[in-house]
Structure 1
Amino acid sequence: MPETRFRLGDAQVAALARWSFGLGNAAPELPPADAYEDAQGVLVAVREQGRLVVVEVPRWRPPSAVTRQEARTAWVGSPPADPSELPAHVLALVPAAGTSADSAALSAAAAEWTAVRAGGREVELVFVPVTAAAPEVSWPVVAEAYGATLLGTRVDAQPAGHRGGAVLFFTGLSGAGKSTIAARVVELLVEEGRGVTLLDGDEVRNHLSAGLGFSRADRDTNVERIGWVAARIAKHGGIAVCAPIAPYASVRETVRGEVEAQAGPGSFVLVHVATSLADCEQRDRKGLYARARRGEIPSFTGISDPYEVPVDAEVTVETRGRSVDECARQVLAHLR
């Protein structure tokens, strides 16, 4: 039989590392598979005769590779406001609360510590991600395992959550103005110096989803692909702006779950561009609605196929009598 491989989430990888280093009481419960890899496709563990064997866990260093004779101080959470407080050897224990978004959180935390060294401080830093605000074993025990003494006065562990990345997910009928408003939102974000990526529905159809049709299954696949790319952008602190029609509530909910699993709670912003069907037909420059009315375009959203109006949108944009700039700034106001 062919080998089965399973891709682990970030929290699962971290739990695997902690267990392999003797900092957890039991092996993590993983789905049945012959081999396990991390989000980047790196092999981290295999099953040999039913037994879980850890191969390698990137980003983690076992205590045996860290412990030294020099005195080392462990810090839980972010670095101190005054870097001069740091000793020459530092162990940074950064809690990530056990969420599947811990990769984004840990990247942000690592950047804080890197900034300390960039400031000219001669600090030997070992960065240790810990996926719980309160680990299975106590902070002093974790620190001791790495040959460090815990500095208890700076235990400022906070659960990792939303760390700046976001997905602005526009939905609405064809011709509602989604792409136009989304493009203006991108312009305004660029003017502010924000990192932003536009995933326009038509462009994604032509490239990422080339070959898909317009059945419900194909439409869902197209939206899920957009959501997956957007989630990866948000996971690493960027802003993704998406503008598909996304007519079905179930797939919008799937995308919300994917984004928040990778980038944390609050990272998904559903924007309903609530232009009426009558207004969309009136402004239809391509004549698509007329063709759909004549039966020339099957499964056309709003005519022969349903559009499920969102009941969970963070922002509802009414376009009648309003400029594109006004609509775009309403969306941006939600990010502030």
Structure 2
Amino acid sequence: MSSLTSDPNQTDVNDIIRPPYFFISGFIAVPDMKYYYIFLCFVYIISLVGNTFVMTGIYVDRSLHSPKYIAVFNLAFTDVCESTALVPKLLDMFLFSRQLISYDQCLTSLFFVFLFITMQSFNLTILSYDRLVAICYPLRYHMMITHRSMLQLTGAAWAFAVLMVLISVCLITRLSFCRSLVINSYFCDHGPLFRLAAPCSNVVPNIAMSEINPCIVLYLPMIFIISSYICITHALFTVTLPQDRLRAIKTCTSHLILVAIFYLPIIFTYSLYTIIPTNARIINLSLTSILPPMLNPIVYVLKTEEFKVSAKKMLRRGAQRAVTQGKPT
């Protein structure tokens, strides 16, 4: 197979099925992007530190070994994986002008980025289910939400997410790329990638999948979350004691903030996809991918009382250990 020509818009006839490389256009036409890359580095470091802190706190503190925190741990793990799958490669491509990405690397990147974004949505849905049962069926909570049921629910979400994304990737492998090899995105995005094959392949199954995926990953979870909070609101009106009502509201606050951070920017961007200029759309989509993993642990540490207590314990132990190690023998 011949190598990619100097012009990424041209390709050799022998490369018509599986080209050796794609070219990620990314932020190529956006001025002063060096400041954005510094911002990306900052966001990535905060994401790693924050989510690792959350996972460590849940693992170390036995008081957090509850079914709910299985989902929180899984969300933090997913955030670390998503940031790692996206940001380092993005920085490598655009800081060092390595915007050529091989065919196999492109599909691998597509698989993992979409897998972890899908799991973010499913994790938020699982947490919504936990809050629904806790507030609407408090007497049955410990029977319905157990360690086993939460692990089964989380495992099923992972299996379904892998299957969905794998189907999308397999549909890409059947396409021929005979014209442009320039992907107008900041990574190997599914839509811009299969549209490159539209002049020389049947992309109807890909279009169908691109319509089905948002419904399953975004809209159905959003409908479930909204419906669950309608039920929660109705249940709160039946609570007679104001302090009990306030306590129940506080348990939902952190989750609602996470839902807003994740869903609203994505839905806004896709709703106005054809109106927003290409550069603005690429920047906006990149922000919707990298900001939630950074903000999720901050919200949980600041807004969840149980975790605030656990975080204070961890910091106190760390300070005591540092003092002890610093004392002369």
Shorter-chain TM-score range: under 0.3
Structure 1 or 2: larger helix share?
Answer: 2
| Relative contact order, higher structure (CA 8 A, sep 6+) | 2
Which one has a larger percent strand, Structure 1 or Structure 2? 1
TM-score (norm 1): 0.22
TM-score (norm: length of structure 2): 0.22
